Chain A
Amino acid sequence: MRDQGDRMRKLLYSQKLAPYLFILPFILTFGLFWLYPVIQAVVMSFQKILPGMTTYIGTTNYSRLFGDRIFWLALTNSVRYMVLTLVLLIPIPLLLAVLINSKLGNPKIKNFFKSTMFVPALTSVVVAGIVFRFLFSESDSALMNSIVEFFGFGPVKWLKHDLTGLAALLVIAMWRWTGVNMMYFLAGLQAIPTELYESASIDGANAWQKFWSVTVPNIKPTIVYVVTISVYGGLAMFLESLMLYGNNNSPFNQGLTIVGYLYRMGIEKNDMGYASAVGVVLLVLVLTINLIQLTATGTFKKETR
């Protein structure tokens, strides 16, 4: 009895064992809910899965994927969306953050501005989807059509055409994420020591030169981070399109994304093997882009130190 008690006490005080017990929940979650499913996805992508019967079919799913016109369309749609969100959701929030961080203006007004810009991020994708679906209604009394009519154009069937549908998706993305990205940049900007700007002023730099030679290099880590999550978010976008079009079938698949195709094949058509191949392609794409980016900018090294 006493021996057992001693051993128990030793266990509780052991500094060697403690760290493993602390991180055990992570090891379990990582193994069961991340690693195992990833391996499963790779295995399933080489299989044909029918109820009660699974056969190994080699790379058939991948060669089928390669010749699948709709898959390429979904891939193009996702990449196009991702690139455009990068173009819109990095410079604009950065500009707004620089304006907030400038010495100009009343701090109270700036605080109100910051908070308000953040509010759209509180809405769920379902609510955002419902709101924008009806702002972009075909009816000539919906807001977007009243605006174009004000400029002398007829009512537009926004969600029936490829480019206007894409524009609606981008508007949703900008509405929800401009404020959040702005806050990321602001956090980065506030960490820059003011002496750097002062010495740049002494060297006779104007505002534009200060921006490029002091601001940008110093918030590089923040930019890297925002690019990383935007690549991920852009390539994995699905729900915005699902909600905007009301279901996963947009006209001529103009709103179909990689994840939308994965969902269609796996959940709606129950072709799990083929859908897993779609998932693996997405994973490889995201990991490759982000690993290249994170290694090139030296972020990985810094964070594991």
Chain B
Amino acid sequence: MTTTQPSPRPANPGPAPTRRTPKKTRTLGQRIFLYAVFAFAVLLCLIPLWAILMATFQPGNMVFRNGLNLGLDFSSAGLQNWVMLFTDSGSYFVWFGNSLIITLLQTAGTLLVSSFVAYGFAMYEFRFKTALFVCVLIILTIPFEMLMLPLYVQINNWKMSDSYLAIILPFLASATTIFFFRQFLRGMPRDILEAGRIDGVTEFGIFFRLILPLMKPAIAAMAILNAMASWNNFLWPLLVLRTPGKYTLPIGLNTLLTPYGNDYSLLFIGAFFSIIPILILFLLFQRFFIEGMTAGAVKG
């Protein structure tokens, strides 16, 4: 945006060059330091991913025995695991499909419900508003792990265990998402509402027809955050699901990690391949990822 504008500053005639040289060498040193730190950090970030990529080219049992490392043992390396993944990987793509379905349903549901709720909080004044909003803030600080036992009992009592509904339902009104949408909506002029009312649109019509389209950037950010959380969700689905045919990717992968297995090839290539969908999403929509992840942070 601003890079295309010409600099407002007049052309600098430049101070005495003798004063500029030491400063330049200092900034050069600082720049080298900066890049050295960056390179080191990037290396540490990528090493584990590189290591598991290398493992996809080696026999699984060998990796299980020897651990992960950065090199390849060329005497046994090959594409056999990749061929196996696409031709003979058992339930892997069933899990993959299940994860895809849950992620889609959960993301769409959460976005709709949470935007609805956030709109109520952002645009209206009503009794108990503050108290109810404090409830949103409290959810943000309650560990889900503390609720999982009673929730588990409750789901069993309601005969909902082993269903995708039980995985999705408790998180439809997501506190983080509500919080983010509310912040976004509060910056919106309320004239739109008044204009809609004058035109005779219902309160819900105003939301669906006038506000929702304006929320697109916020929705994109939260869509990605929720999709990622849902794709990677592990603990709650682990408690809810019983039938192996309904397992999601993380749960399926976890079942491969037993000391009694006799072929670990799918474990490593399956783990690597499960990152790919979310990685592609990330590469396409980086800005929204970062916005989504940093959404909760209180700014200013």
Report A13-27 CB contacts with B as 1/0, cut-off 8 Å.
111101111110111
Given the complex, which residues of B lie within 8 Å of A184, measured CB to CB? Answer: 294, 297
Contact of A303 with B298 in the complex, beta carbons under 8 Å: yes
Interface assignment of A4: CB less than 8 Å from any CB of chain B: no
Contact of A109 with B48 in the complex, beta carbons under 8 Å: no
Known: A19-B120, A126-B254, A183-B290. A236 touches B145 (CB 8 A): yes
Residues of B1-51 whose CB lies within 8 A of A: 27, 30-31, 34-35, 37-38, 41-42, 44-49, 51
Given the complex, which residues of A lie within 8 Å of B55, measured CB to CB? Answer: 134
Closest 5 CB pairs of A and B: A142-B67, A137-B67, A22-B120, A124-B232, A19-B124
Contact of B290 with A114 in the complex, beta carbons under 8 Å: yes
Given the complex, which residues of A lie within 8 Å of B235, measured CB to CB? Answer: 238-239
Report A249-280 CB contacts with B as 1/0, cut-off 8 Å.
00000000001001000110000100110011
Contact of B51 with A131 in the complex, beta carbons under 8 Å: yes
Given the complex, which residues of A lie within 8 Å of B141, measured CB to CB? Answer: 228, 232, 286-287, 290-291, 294
Given the complex, which residues of A lie within 8 Å of B104, measured CB to CB? Answer: none
CA distance A235 to B124 in the complex (A): 37
Majority DSSP secondary structure for residues of B touching A = helix
Find A125's partner among B117, B234, B294 (CB 8 Å cutoff).
B234
Find A14's partner among B121, B136, B203, B268 (CB 8 Å cutoff).
B203
Residues of B121-171 whose CB lies within 8 A of A: 121, 123-126, 129-130, 132-139, 141-147, 149-154, 169-170
Interface assignment of A40: CB less than 8 Å from any CB of chain B: yes
Chain A residue at minimal CB-CB distance from B143: A236
Contact of B149 with A262 in the complex, beta carbons under 8 Å: yes
Contact of A134 with B297 in the complex, beta carbons under 8 Å: no
Contact of B48 with A238 in the complex, beta carbons under 8 Å: no
Contact of B250 with A283 in the complex, beta carbons under 8 Å: no
Given the complex, which residues of B lie within 8 Å of A221, measured CB to CB? Answer: 297-300
Min distance, Cβ A103 to any Cβ of chain B, angstroms: 9
Residues of A138-157 whose CB lies within 8 A of B: 138-139, 141-143, 145-146
Chain A residue at minimal CB-CB distance from B55: A134
Q: Name the residue in B116, B150, B173 with the highest tally of chain A Cβ atoms < 10 Å from its Cβ.
A: B150
Q: Name the residue in A36, A130, A246, A304 with the highest tally of chain B Cβ atoms < 10 Å from its Cβ.
A: A130
Find B117's partner among A23, A130, A136 (CB 8 Å cutoff).
A23
Contact of B132 with A142 in the complex, beta carbons under 8 Å: no
Which of B76-84, B86-94, B214-222, B275-283 lies at the interface?
B275-283
Given the complex, which residues of A lie within 8 Å of B253, measured CB to CB? Answer: 126-127, 130
Given the complex, which residues of B lie within 8 Å of A166, measured CB to CB? Answer: none
CA distance A195 to B227 in the complex (A): 39
Known: A26-B173, A102-B34, A124-B232. A143 touches B51 (CB 8 A): yes
Interface assignment of A116: CB less than 8 Å from any CB of chain B: yes
Interface assignment of A113: CB less than 8 Å from any CB of chain B: yes
CA distance A304 to B128 in the complex (A): 12
Given the complex, which residues of A lie within 8 Å of B119, measured CB to CB? Answer: 22
Interface assignment of B57: CB less than 8 Å from any CB of chain A: no
Chain B residue at minimal CB-CB distance from A259: B145
Interface range on chain B (Cβ under 8 Å from partner): 35 or more
Contact of A117 with B42 in the complex, beta carbons under 8 Å: yes
9 further contact pairs, Cβ within 8 A, besides A13-B197, A29-B113, A127-B272 = A18-B124, A22-B116, A44-B153, A104-B27, A119-B282, A125-B250, A130-B268, A141-B66, A225-B298
Chain A residue at minimal CB-CB distance from B179: A303
Contact of A25 with B117 in the complex, beta carbons under 8 Å: yes
Contact of B69 with A142 in the complex, beta carbons under 8 Å: yes
Chain B residue at minimal CB-CB distance from A302: B298
Given the complex, which residues of A lie within 8 Å of B184, measured CB to CB? Answer: none
Contact of A118 with B51 in the complex, beta carbons under 8 Å: no
Given the complex, which residues of B lie within 8 Å of A282, measured CB to CB? Answer: 143, 145-146
Contact of B254 with A109 in the complex, beta carbons under 8 Å: no
Residues of A82-119 whose CB lies within 8 A of B: 96, 99, 102, 104-105, 109-110, 113-119
